[in-house]
Structure 1
Amino acid sequence: MKQLPVYASLLALLASCGGPSKEEKAQAAADTPADNVATAAATVNLPEPYASKSATKRSKVIGWPAGRTPTVPSGFIITEYAANLTSPRWTYVLPNGDVLVAESNTVPNDTKKKVVAALDLDPSRSLRATSANRITLLRDTNKDGKPDVRATFLSGLNQPLGMLVVGNYFYVANTDGVLRYAYQPGQTKISGAGQKILTLPAGGYNNHWTRNLLANADGSKIYISVGSGSNVGENGMDKEVRRAAILEINPDGSGEKIYAAGLRNPVGMDWAPGTKTLWTAVNERDELGDELVPDYLTSVRPGAFYGWPYAYFGTHEDPRRKGERPDLVQKTVVPDVALGPHTASLGLAFYDQKGFPAKYRNGAFIGQHGSWNRSSFSGYKVVFVPFQNGKPSGPMEDFVTGFVANEAEKEVYGRPVGVTVLPDGSMLVADDAGDKVWRVSTTAAAGLPSEA
């Protein structure tokens, strides 16, 4: 693949990648809330940088005791869908209803981290000596909400996350590239050789090694989320080529362009039901204090710039990059919904089924992996943002909680990441630290008396 120009001149990069077409700009204008900037700016009050000291508080994962589960609202039930996985970080539903689970995690990249991983000294379970590097298939043949077939679908990968079926191909996003394989509906294993259709910059700051995939409605375009390689560009912007962005390609890997940039670590991506608007959950920067910077959920405008590393949440200039790119600071788009600082908001799924009560339909569920750069825990839950007519319509609210066991002792049972809505109307929550996948359904769907 031809490499794109150096990121140091982002505007030139956007131009060289083609930028949005007239049709994309028109569709974005039609689908994006007209009051996006005003609403976000009016409802989020940010402190000054360094108003509080930058803190480090890493969680200690103790695992789930027998019989204990996360907590869900009245009228819902949460059950163990699959256990004994190895860092199940992301899930995907195949066309026939089978569920794929990407098992992968951060791996050590220097001597110190290798020792920490080898001795199992990372209590948060983010860093492990090795990564499973596989995709596991789960099939529920009798539709009782519990899979009865489990098989290794694909192995020998390199920190996989995003999965996708388009036509007769299965795609997987490794940390260093996108592969595609010949695929037939219903198969439980891929054994043929894959084709690497796109090379990606590998690895990244903390958990920024993840690469997600999403196709548009007709399968003519594939979108790839690529997080930054650093916190705030401290290694040099020449190391951030094609990073902190969502890329767009054709299904064969050709036609690459930057769909949107300045997105520090976009992971979850989904389409708002009833629209052609792409949304993403973004994990924002560290070390500016307890309350900076809020992670966010935002609609993604083709060709837009969202601030990283020069600005955050609109035109708030990052003091560590002060005066470097005033042009890009002024171009920074304000995101739609603040999700709280240091929550590690990663998973995203719009509820496009009918099993949950009406208030949840078309709304967004966000998996928050949990903080480390804050004096008190934030995140460690799945939250919900209601939508109406393709726009956020109310405040964020907790949905799946109970992951924190004892904050005083820094203990947590697990850490939620990916969220996926199943065709039967239930929802899966990948718990990579707890090595489980949870299933959320209504009590009525589970055959229990409704409390709602």
Structure 2
Amino acid sequence: MNVQKHSWLKLAMLALGLTACSDNRAEGLLSEIKLPPGFHISIYTDRTPNARSLALGSDGTVYAGTMEEGKVYAVRDGDGDGKAEQVYVLASDLNMPNGVAFADGDLYVAEVPRILKFKGIARSLSNPPKPEVVFDRFPEDVHHGWKYLRVGPDGKLYTPVGAPCNVCLSEKEVYATLTRLDKDGSNLEVYARGLRNSVGFDWHPDTKELWLNDNGRDWLGDDRPPDELNHAPKPGLHFGFPYCHGKDIPDPSFGKDKSCAEFEPPAWAYPAHVAPLGVRFYRGEQFPAEYRGRLFVAQHGSWNRSTPIGYRVVVVEFQDGKPIGDKVFADGWLKPDGKVLGRPVDILEMPDGAILVSDDKAGAIYRIVYRP
């Protein structure tokens, strides 16, 4: 990992007290987390410093990417007791390997400028193969350069290219987009535009349509613009950045000659600066029936709001295919005095219907189950 390239991020995290911890403090957080009645939280593993995006292998192995840690982990619960006994480091010194995706026995990892593939990874966790380079022509900008990575229902890899700034208009059309490409690295195309920094998306289990988060711009005040949940059922939509934010907030610099009506409005507006990251539609049967089809959202938390907000997991409720409300599902990582204990990053549903939540500050992955 290029230390100079990442120094600004580490300094910012130190200033905010957001460095990942690799000790057992995560266990002490559990008593602080509030959940709906009948739900219980435990530590799946606390040996994954800076754990961020999650992916599930066909054999139950959980893969986790990181940012400043530069590592990719494989985590296994061999005896099925809900706590991982084995943690493997598959790679180190990578360039913000945030995104991970599993398909056809292979693990795909998204760095800032490229996508790697670890072929047949499950057979060699203790001695991982040298990764193949799938694609290496993404921009090298670190600002919003970290990537989420998923395999869509069409079998293609989907990954964003964030704006290299707080708000700007770049000459390179690939910025502020969601891209997709074949798993062999061919046929790169822009699927959606006008997305400042989308670090979490999922496909509805029934319609197979894409829903994706977007983190709004900074420095328009504590309460605007909203962070967004966007609906992209087809390619070619533009969601407004940098011209328009939310449904009807023109950018003071770039929106003077544009109308927000020209762009796709958000399907749902989160409060400003909650930083929605990983999302998953609940498909399982362990949780009460009303949760099926709802969207779990990890809100990483604000970094520059005068009163911090976020640091929680919320659930978005849908009706007739549209979001109609959200409510807090898990919180307690943010104390009333503003102290931050943890920062949820991604959500992963397990085969038994439990969900995992990664926390890059605590260096942990939590497991949430329903046992009334």
TM-score w.r.t. structure 2 length? 0.88
CA distance in 1, matches of 2:295, 2:129: 35
CA distance in 2, matches of 1:134, 1:309: 32
Matches for 1:71-110 after TM superposition, within 5 Å: 71-105=34-68
Matched with 2:133 is: 195
Q: CA offset at residue 312 of structure 1? A: 1.3
1:415 maps onto 2:343 in alignment: yes
| Contact kept in structure 2, 1:284 and 1:342, CA below 8 Å | yes
CA distance in 1, matches of 2:26, 2:57: 31
Matched with 1:155 is: 92
Q: CA offset at residue 247 of structure 1? A: 0.4
Q: CA offset at residue 143 of structure 1? A: 0.8
Q: CA offset at residue 168 of structure 1? A: 4.7
1:404 maps onto 2:317 in alignment: no
Matched with 2:3 is: none
Identity of aligned residues (%): 33
Q: CA offset at residue 383 of structure 1? A: 0.5
Change (3 A) 1:66 1:314: closer
Matches for 1:26-105 after TM superposition, within 5 Å: 59-61=16-18, 64=25, 67-69=28-30, 70-105=33-68
Matched with 1:314 is: 247
Q: CA offset at residue 186 of structure 1? A: 4.4
Matches for 1:270-285 after TM superposition, within 5 Å: 270-285=202-217
Matches for 1:416-435 after TM superposition, within 5 Å: 416-435=344-363
Of residues 141, 158, 171, the one that matches 2:78 is 141
Matched with 1:337 is: 268
Matched with 2:179 is: 247
Count residues in correspondence.
350
Matched with 1:357 is: 288
CA distance in 2, matches of 1:68, 1:267: 25
TM-score w.r.t. structure 1 length? 0.73
| Unmatched runs of 5 consecutive residues or more in structure 1 | 1-57, 106-131, 445-449
CA distance in 1, matches of 2:131, 2:74: 18
| Unmatched runs of 5 consecutive residues or more in structure 2 | 1-14
Matched with 1:25 is: none
Matched with 1:31 is: none
Q: Report Cα offsets for 1:167-201 as digits up to 9, x if no partner.
A: 35321100111122322544424222422424211
The letter of the residue matching 2:247 is: G
Change (3 A) 1:330 1:337: closer
CA distance in 2, matches of 1:360, 1:322: 39
- Relative contact order (alpha carbons < 8 A, sep ≥ 6): 1 or 2 greater? 1
The letter of the residue matching 1:214 is: R
Superposed CA RMSD in Å reads 2.0
CA distance in 1, matches of 2:94, 2:242: 31
Q: CA offset at residue 74 of structure 1? A: 1.0
Q: Report Cα offsets for 1:5-34 as digits up to 9, x if no partner.
A: xxxxxxxxxxxxxxxxxxxxxxxxxxxxxx
CA distance in 2, matches of 1:155, 1:389: 45
| Contact kept in structure 1, 2:179 and 2:189, CA below 8 Å | yes
CA distance in 1, matches of 2:333, 2:85: 26
The letter of the residue matching 1:256 is: L
1:177 maps onto 2:114 in alignment: yes
